[in-house]
C-alpha cells in the first residue's frame, strides 16, 4: 500500500480522496505526519496554490505528497470567485456566508442586466453557468506533477441538499440537472466531481509507475 500525505485538514476532502484512490493507497493527513498550523496558500492561480501547499509538505517531511486547490468559476461574475472560492465572503472561510454572497452577487448582476434591457440597451441575458475546476499537484522525489479536473454545471437559485460541503448545496451538475451536488450520494458525486477526476488521473499515473 502506497502512502501519500494529503495537504489538507478538511476531513470531507480527505474522505473523498480516499474513496477515489481506493485500497492501493493510504492517505495521511498533515497532523498524522506531525505537522500543525496553517499550510501557506498565497498563490494567484489554482496551480500555484496547489504547488505551494504540496511543496510545504514535502519540504517539512520529505515524503511523497499531494495537494489540491479548487475554484468555482461563475460566468455571470466574470469567473469569480475563482482562486478566492474558499474565502469569498472573508478569511473565516465560512461556507454558509460564501453561498449567501454568491447568490446575492448573482441576483444583483441579473437585476442589472434586466434593467439595462428594459432601458433599450443591448445586454446579454444573464447565465447561471458555472464550473468547478481542480488542480492537484503530486510531488514524488521532489518533482511536481499536475492533474486537472473540471465539473460543468450551473448555480441553483437556492440551497438544496445536506450532503457534501462547500458550495455543493447550490451547484447543479450537468450530469444530474435535477439535483445539486449536496443531493447526490457520495459515490455518485465522486464519480463525476472535479476533484474526483483529478485524483483519479493522479492514481492512474501512480499505478503506471509500478
CATH of the domain at 181: 3.90.950.10
SS (H, E, C) 109-129: HHHHHHHHHHCCCCCCCCCCE
pLDDT tens across 121-151, in order?
766 667 899 999 999 999 999 999 999 999 9
Alpha carbon of 161 to those of 37, 141, 165, 170, 185: distances in Å?
32, 41, 10, 9, 10
Tell me, yes or no, if 94 is annotated catalytic: no
- The answer to which of 55-59, 122-126, 196-200 has the lowest mean pLDDT is 122-126
Range 59-68 average pLDDT? 96
Can you give the residue range of the structural domain that contains 128?
Answer: 2-208
Catalytic residue among 68, 69, 75, 94: 69
Range 2-20 average pLDDT? 89
For residue 37, what pLDDT band results from cuts at 50, 70 and 90?
Answer: confident
Residue 72: is its pLDDT beyond 70? yes
Alpha carbon of 197 to those of 9, 59, 82, 192: distances in Å?
20, 27, 18, 7
- The answer to which of 36-40, 136-140, 187-191 has the lowest mean pLDDT is 36-40
Q: Give the per-residue pLDDT at 62.
A: 95
Residue 81: is its pLDDT beyond 90? yes
Residue 50: is its pLDDT beyond 80? yes
Nearest 10 degrees: Cα torsion 83, 86, 91, 95: 150
Number of domains making up the chain: 1
Amino acid at each position: 500500500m502506497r502512502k501519500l500525505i494529503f495537504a489538507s485538514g478538511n476531513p470531507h476532502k480527505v474522505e473523498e480522496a480516499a474513496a477515489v484512490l481506493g485500497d492501493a493507497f493510504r492517505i495521511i493527513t498533515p497532523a498524522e505526519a506531525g505537522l500543525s498550523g496553517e499550510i501557506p496558500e498565497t498563490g494567484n492561480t489554482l496551480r500555484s496554490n496547489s504547488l505551494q501547499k504540496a511543496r510545504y509538505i514535502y519540504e517539512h517531511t520529505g515524503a511523497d505528497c499531494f495537494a489540491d486547490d479548487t475554484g468555482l468559476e461563475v460566468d455571470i461574475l466574470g469567473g469569480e470567485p475563482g482562486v478566492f472560492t474558499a474565502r469569498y465572503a472573508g478569511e473565516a472561510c465560512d461556507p454558509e456566508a460564501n453561498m449567501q454572497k454568491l447568490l446575492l452577487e448573482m441576483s444583483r448582476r441579473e437585476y442589472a442586466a434586466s434593467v439595462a434591457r428594459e432601458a433599450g440597451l443591448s445586454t446579454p441575458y444573464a447565465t447561471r453557468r458555472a464550473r468547478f475546476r481542480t488542480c492537484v499537484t503530486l510531488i514524488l522525489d521532489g518533482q511536481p506533477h499536475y492533474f486537472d479536473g473540471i465539473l460543468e454545471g450551473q448555480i441553483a437559485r437556492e440551497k438544496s441538499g445536506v450532503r457534501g460541503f462547500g458550495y455543493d448545496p447550490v451547484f447543479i451538475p450537468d450530469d444530474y440537472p435535477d439535483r445539486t451536488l449536496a443531493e447526490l450520494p457520495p459515490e455518485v458525486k465522486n464519480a463525476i466531481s472535479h476533484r474526483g477526476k483529478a485524483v483519479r488521473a493522479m492514481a492512474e499515473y501512480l499505478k503506471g509507475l509500478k
